[in-house]
DNA sequence: CTAACATAAATGCATGCGCATGCATTATTT
DNA sequence: AAATAATGCATGCGCATGCATTTATGTTAG
């Protein structure tokens, strides 16, 4: 077992950590809101925009999903019982479709973000949190 | 935007980092060996065992996949052109199934680990690597 | 103005995953 | 020994995803 392969094991442990937290968040969102993590992120990004709407193609880069995955994500959110997101298109460019965070969506995403934050706090040690911040650059 | 929600954004950045590296590794493995990341991890864990074989239920905990996902992962590896893994069962407990790393599998996993390590080295900065190690505890 | 090309999103298809379930085997209880 | 429960794995099903293709619209070169 030579030196280099240590890096792989470091990576594997790192991935396990990531997976553990991801599952915590996903489980919480699924149980309480019937939302997946990607859907939550999606609503977060929309909410950060002052107009509460963005073109699908813009969101694609932010959220790191394929174009088709994003299109279907919006479809799911349109069907969701909270009706948090709607599609809209404008005459300026009829190719584009905007995802719009509805008033209901805006109300809920703020609440959800606070709760997700709590789940994070509970899932992470102080040490974890300070380690995490090293990557946030 | 209050303080707590900063933690979410830290987490999002962290996840993006994880995703970026994961894609690098997966892309490499897929292109060169027609293997997915889980399949690679699976072979790694098998290889670390001196007998080069483990029960599926043991691997389940190591690799963090569901039981069904694991069962199908082994099926895929049995079909793989390198024939790296076989199933075996013994009289001691006929319910159990062992995944066995074949000689071909053993030969290749060592080679692949070295290459994956190189991909990791190329994908990560020095700083990334030292940050990673903080989680490996 | 038209023909070619470019861009944005939707859709068909394949893959990998988890959940729920079923089958075979083993362990435990009566 | 028979009945019941637990264990280990395989399989049906549905979901989220990516790739390739299609459809609609916009842009540009001639």
Nucleic strand D within 7 A of Cβ B15:
no
Question: Does residue A129 lie within any of the structural domains?
Answer: no
Instruction: List the B137 CA – C12 C1' distance (angstroms).
Output: 46
The sign of the dihedral angle between the CA atoms of A41, A45, A47, A48 is positive
B88 SS3 class: strand
Question: Does residue A9 lie within any of the structural domains?
Answer: yes
Question: Does residue A137 lie within any of the structural domains?
Answer: no
Domain count, chain B: 1
- Report the residue from A13, A19, A132 with minimal CB separation from B10: A132
- Which nt is closest to the CA of A75, judged by C1'? C10
By CB atoms closer than 10 A (0-12, 13-18, 19+), residue A123 is: middle
Indicate whether A47 pLDDT > 90. Answer: yes
Question: Does residue A83 lie within any of the structural domains?
Answer: yes
Structural contact between residues B45 and B54, judged by C-beta atoms closer than 8 angstroms = yes
Gap from B7 CA to chain A (nearest CA, Å): 7
- CATH no. for residue B46? 1.10.10.10
A21 close contact with B: CB closer than 8 A: yes
> Going residue by residue through chain B (137 aa), what tens digit of pLDDT does each one get?
445 578 999 999 999 999 999 999 999 999 999 999 999 999 999 999 999 999 999 999 899 999 999 999 999 999 999 999 999 999 999 999 999 999 999 999 999 999 999 999 999 999 999 999 887 66
By CB atoms closer than 10 A (0-12, 13-18, 19+), residue A67 is: exposed
Indicate whether A101 pLDDT > 60. Answer: yes
For residue A95, what are the domain limits? Answer: 5-124
- CA gap A86, A105 in Å, rounded: 10
List of chain B residues whose C-beta atoms are within 8 Å of the C-beta of residue A9: 136
Mean pLDDT for all residues in chain A? 93
């Amino acid at each position: 077992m030579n030196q280099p392969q240590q890096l792989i094991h470091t990576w594997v442990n790192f991935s396990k950590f990531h997976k553990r937290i991801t599952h915590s968040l996903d489980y919480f969102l699924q149980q309480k809101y019937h939302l997946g993590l990607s859907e939550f992120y999606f609503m977060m990004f929309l909410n950060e925009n002052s107009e509460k709407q963005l073109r699908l193609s813009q969101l694609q880069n932010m959220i790191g999903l394929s174009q088709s995955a994003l299109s279907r994500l919006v479809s799911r959110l349109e069907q969701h019982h909270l009706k948090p997101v709607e599609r809209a298109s404008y005459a300026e460019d009829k190719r584009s479709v905007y995802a719009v965070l509805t008033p209901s969506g805006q109300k809920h995403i703020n609440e959800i973000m606070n709760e997700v934050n709590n789940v994070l706090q509970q899932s992470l040690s102080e040490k974890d949190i300070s380690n995490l911040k090293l990557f946030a650059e």
